[in-house]
């Protein structure tokens, strides 16, 4: 009897674990894009919030299980299969990211890589993806951003074959070789020519979205009492007796709770109030404005989008042309110096300090 019970328990445990794994997979959706070198496509997409995995591989040819040595001869092209959370990022947003990371005007390859095996394509998996891709391509064509017609085709996806293990996450396994290849291939130079400021703004918006608020019990351990009171209980620190009111170094200011980028030293100015003051948030910053009726007045409270930290208030007595003053508590901020941006994961903001 005991043996039978143990067998039944194991059986139902296996079913339960299988159900959990199946449910987790069902929460993810898939997309397939080709944009030249799959090392680069994988690196570009894996950094986006909501994307859980990116697989480099081959698609579009006539043979089963192609290898790196023969995929081109069989008509396959390099592509990536993306697994993403639709509750965090939509397929339409994936398309937007895809366009700004390729040269859609080049039908014969991508950047320094020439030939059909390096061409671009949207491989749609459903009719909905096909319609969204067609709409996205048509809107981009009519926008006037690009001076020529888009050459990237929309193709019904066939079987996707994962590439060899050494190709997966190549940019992580071989960072120096990857960076050298990407630079020598002229990928980023060409992307900047095509998209200009649009590419950096979109990347900043996507990167900002990845920061989350830790558990309150964790915050009580990691924050000082003043930082906790300011960010979690809407307190205000003393003027002229705080960390950044007179900070003149170059860099960015991030949420002390989540790390989401909020302000840049390029927009900081001396307001004479005794608190850090800025004329505007950093590009892509998610700052929420709320009506605040405390202290017998109506003010505009500022909170961070991802962590819901209390930051400070917005006033209309700032410098021209906009006349705005973002008055922020130092205790709600952490400063990341210009020279530390890359090592701390904020390299996309380095262009703010280019001379």
Residues 163 and 279 placed together within one structural domain of the fold: no
Residues 348 and 317 placed together within one structural domain of the fold: yes
In a domain, 9, yes or no: no
Residues 188 and 249 placed together within one structural domain of the fold: no
> φ and ψ at 334, to 5 degrees?
-130, 130
- pLDDT for position 200: 63
Instruction: Give yes or no: 37 in active site.
Output: yes
Instruction: Give yes or no: 327 in active site.
Output: yes
Strands 154-156 and 325-328: unpaired
In a domain, 115, yes or no: yes
In a domain, 207, yes or no: no
Residues 262 and 164 placed together within one structural domain of the fold: no
Q: Give the integer Cα–Cα distance in Å for 204 and 283.
A: 7
Decide: 58 and 76 in contact? Cβ < 8 Å: yes
- pLDDT for position 139: 84
Residues 302 and 261 placed together within one structural domain of the fold: yes
Q: Between the CA atoms of 30, 34, 38 and 44, what dihedral angle is there, to the nearest 10 degrees?
A: -70
Residues 190 and 48 placed together within one structural domain of the fold: yes
Helices (H), ranges, the chain? 2-26, 38-46, 91-99, 127-143, 170-173, 175-185, 187-195, 197-208, 216-222, 225-233
Residues 131 and 175 placed together within one structural domain of the fold: yes
Distances (CA, A) of 79 to 29, 127, 149, 333: 17, 20, 22, 40
Decide: 258 and 311 in contact? Cβ < 8 Å: no
Residues 35 and 140 placed together within one structural domain of the fold: yes
Q: What is the pLDDT along the chain (355 residues), one digit of tens a residue?
A: 444 333 334 433 444 444 434 334 457 899 999 999 999 999 999 888 788 899 999 999 999 999 999 999 999 999 999 999 887 788 988 998 899 999 999 999 999 999 999 999 999 999 999 999 999 898 888 878 888 899 999 999 999 999 999 999 999 999 999 999 999 999 999 998 888 766 666 666 656 666 778 888 889 989 999 999 999 999 999 999 999 999 999 999 999 999 999 999 999 999 999 999 999 999 878 789 998 887 677 899 999 988 999 999 999 999 999 999 999 999 999 999 999 888 887 887 888 887 6
Catalytic-labelled residue, pool 40, 112, 185, 327: 327
Residues 121 and 38 placed together within one structural domain of the fold: yes
Please give the tally of structural domains in the chain.
Answer: 2
Residues 116 and 250 placed together within one structural domain of the fold: no
CATH number at residue 268: 2.170.150.20
- pLDDT for position 201: 62
DSSP state of 131: H
- pLDDT for position 215: 86
In a domain, 131, yes or no: yes
Q: Which residues, other chains included, contact 163 with Cβ-Cβ below 8 Å and sequence gap of 6+?
A: 38, 55, 56, 57, 58, 68, 78
**Element of type H or E holding 288:** strand 287-292
Q: How far is CA 213 from the centre of its chain?
A: 17
Residue 256: which domain range?
216-353
Angle between helices 127-143 and 91-99 (to 10 degrees): 40
In a domain, 50, yes or no: yes
In a domain, 12, yes or no: no
Of the chain, the end-to-end C-alpha distance in Å amounts to 79
Nearest to 212 by CA among 96, 88, 92: 88
Residue 300's DSSP bridge partners are 291, 314
Identify the domain boundary among 195, 226, 252. 195
CATH number at residue 110: 3.30.1060.10
- pLDDT for position 311: 97
In a domain, 128, yes or no: yes
Strands 325-328 and 277-278: antiparallel
Residue 30's DSSP bridge partners are 83
Residues 283 and 331 placed together within one structural domain of the fold: yes
In a domain, 16, yes or no: no
Residues 167 and 227 placed together within one structural domain of the fold: no
Decide: 188 and 43 in contact? Cβ < 8 Å: no
DSSP state of 87: T
Q: Give the integer Cα–Cα distance in Å for 164 and 58.
A: 10
Q: What is the pLDDT of residues 79-112, one digit of tens each?
A: 999 999 887 788 988 998 899 999 999 999 999 9
- pLDDT for position 8: 39
């Amino acid at each position: 009897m005991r043996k039978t019970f143990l067998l039944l328990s194991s059986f139902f445990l296996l079913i339960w674990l299988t159900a959990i794994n199946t449910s987790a997979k069902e929460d993810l959706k898939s997309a397939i894009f080709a944009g030249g070198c799959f090392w680069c496509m994988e690196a570009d997409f894996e950094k986006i919030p909501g994307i859980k995995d990116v697989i480099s591989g081959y698609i579009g040819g006539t043979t089963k299980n192609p290898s790196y040595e023969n995929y081109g001869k069989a008509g396959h092209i390099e592509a990536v299969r993306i697994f993403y959370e639709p509750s965090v990022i939509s397929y339409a947003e994936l398309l937007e990211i895809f366009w700004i990371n390729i040269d859609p005007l080049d039908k014969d390859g991508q950047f320094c890589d020439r030939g059909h095996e390096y061409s671009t394509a949207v491989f749609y998996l459903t009719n909905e993806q096909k319609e969204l891709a067609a709409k996205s391509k048509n809107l981009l064509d009519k926008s006037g951003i690009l001076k020529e017609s888009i050459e990237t085709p929309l193709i019904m996806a066939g079987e996707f074959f994962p590439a060899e293990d050494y190709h997966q996450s190549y940019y992580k396994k071989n960072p120096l070789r990857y960076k050298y290849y990407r630079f020598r291939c002229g990928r980023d130079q060409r992307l900047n020519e095509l998209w200009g400021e649009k590419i950096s703004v979109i990347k900043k918006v996507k990167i900002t979205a990845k920061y989350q608020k830790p558990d309150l019990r964790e915050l009580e351990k990691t924050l000082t009492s003043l930082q906790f009171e300011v960010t979690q209980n809407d307190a205000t620190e003393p003027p002229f007796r705080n960390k950044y009111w007179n900070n003149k170094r170059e860099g960015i200011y991030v949420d002390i709770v989540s790390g989401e980028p909020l302000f840049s030293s390029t927009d900081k100015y001396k307001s004479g109030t005794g608190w850090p003051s800025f004329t505007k948030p950093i590009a892509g910053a998610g700052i929420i404005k709320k009506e605040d009726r405390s202290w017998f007045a109506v003010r505009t409270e500022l909170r961070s989008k991802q962590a819901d930290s209390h930051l400070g208030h917005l006033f209309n007595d700032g410098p021209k042309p906009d006349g705005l003053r973002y008055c922020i508590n130092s205790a709600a901020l952490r400063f990341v110096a210009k020279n530390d941006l890359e090592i701390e994961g904020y390299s996309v903001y380095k262009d703010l300090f280019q001379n």
